[in-house]
């Protein structure tokens, strides 16, 4: 069986031997090898017959380095057409941007969100699931028994509380374990905590290639 190379090139070991994810911005050139066409911010794309979708959200100079706006722009430029999950204050800005373009389905539990996304995928959609890292435990069985075992492609965005600037003790407990939990589900994951030129297209490429390859792909979003 051919060994599949992991997409976690931004994973390294600290001096104490523990694994950590380094910022996406330092790995952009090594991740994206295929050029992608430029998409104008105000373009309108068509899906599902004649139903039009608004283009990516507009940004001003003050917001130009906002990672959550970068994420929303990447999703708007991707083929993602179904968004569901459990509310997370860390992702609230991204969800606000996305709500102008997508109907967001809010669910009470993470496993229910994964199940809804799997159903959407089986119906020909390209779903994105969002949740906080503390909710990963609720979703593990759904990820493994539904998505992984049947090769159902999903894009998963996780708010990475307890990392970066968030050092609340009860958040750090999960923050220190988030990468290990995600890695137990899939080797397809990366982190976003900064922005730079081209990040939107890198993320769009990352998500869309996951759908083509029938893969479960995670994006961890640090607090800002």
Confidence of residue 100 (pLDDT cuts 50, 70, 90): confident
Q: Is position 147 within any domain?
A: yes
Q: Is position 188 within any domain?
A: yes
- The 8 Å CB, 24+ separation contacts for 174-177 are 174/133, 174/134, 174/136, 175/133
* pLDDT tens profile 45-63: 322 333 344 455 554 444 4
* pLDDT tens profile 19-48: 444 444 433 333 333 333 333 333 323 223
The DSSP code for 146 is I
> What sign does the CA torsion over 85, 90, 94, 100 have?
positive
Rounded Cα–Cα distance for residues 7 and 171 (Å): 26
Q: How confident is the model at residue 126, as a pLDDT?
A: 98
State how many domains the chain has. 1
Domain extent for 202 = 90-127+138-154+178-211
The reply to whether the predicted model has a pTM over 0.75 is no
Q: Is position 72 within any domain?
A: no
Rounded Cα–Cα distance for residues 148 and 87 (Å): 24
Q: Is position 185 within any domain?
A: yes
Q: State the number of CA atoms in the 13 A half-sphere of 191 facing the CB.
A: 24
């Amino acid at each position: 069986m051919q060994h599949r190379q992991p997409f976690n090139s931004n994973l390294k070991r600290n001096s104490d031997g523990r694994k950590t994810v380094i910022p996406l911005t330092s790995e952009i050139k090594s991740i994206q090898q295929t050029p992608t066409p430029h998409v104008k911010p105000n373009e309108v794309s068509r899906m599902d017959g004649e139903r039009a979708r608004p283009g990516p959200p507009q940004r001003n100079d003050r917001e130009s380095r906002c990672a959550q706006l970068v994420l929303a722009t990447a999703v708007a430029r991707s083929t993602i057409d179904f968004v569901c999950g459990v509310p997370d204050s860390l992702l609230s800005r991204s969800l606000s941007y996305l709500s102008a373009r997508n109907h967001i389905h809010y669910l009470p539990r993470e496993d229910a969100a994964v199940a809804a996304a799997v159903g959407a995928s089986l119906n020909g959609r390209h779903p994105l699931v969002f949740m906080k890292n503390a909710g990963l435990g609720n979703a593990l069985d759904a990820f493994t028994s539904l998505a992984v075992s049947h090769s159902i492609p999903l894009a998963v965005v996780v708010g990475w509380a307890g990392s970066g600037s968030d050092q609340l003790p009860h958040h750090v407990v999960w923050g220190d374990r988030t990468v290990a939990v995600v890695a137990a589900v899939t080797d397809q994951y990366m982190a976003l905590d900064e922005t730079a030129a081209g990040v939107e297209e890198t993320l769009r490429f990352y998500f869309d290639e996951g759908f083509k390859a029938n893969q479960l792909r995670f994006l961890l979003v640090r607090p800002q």
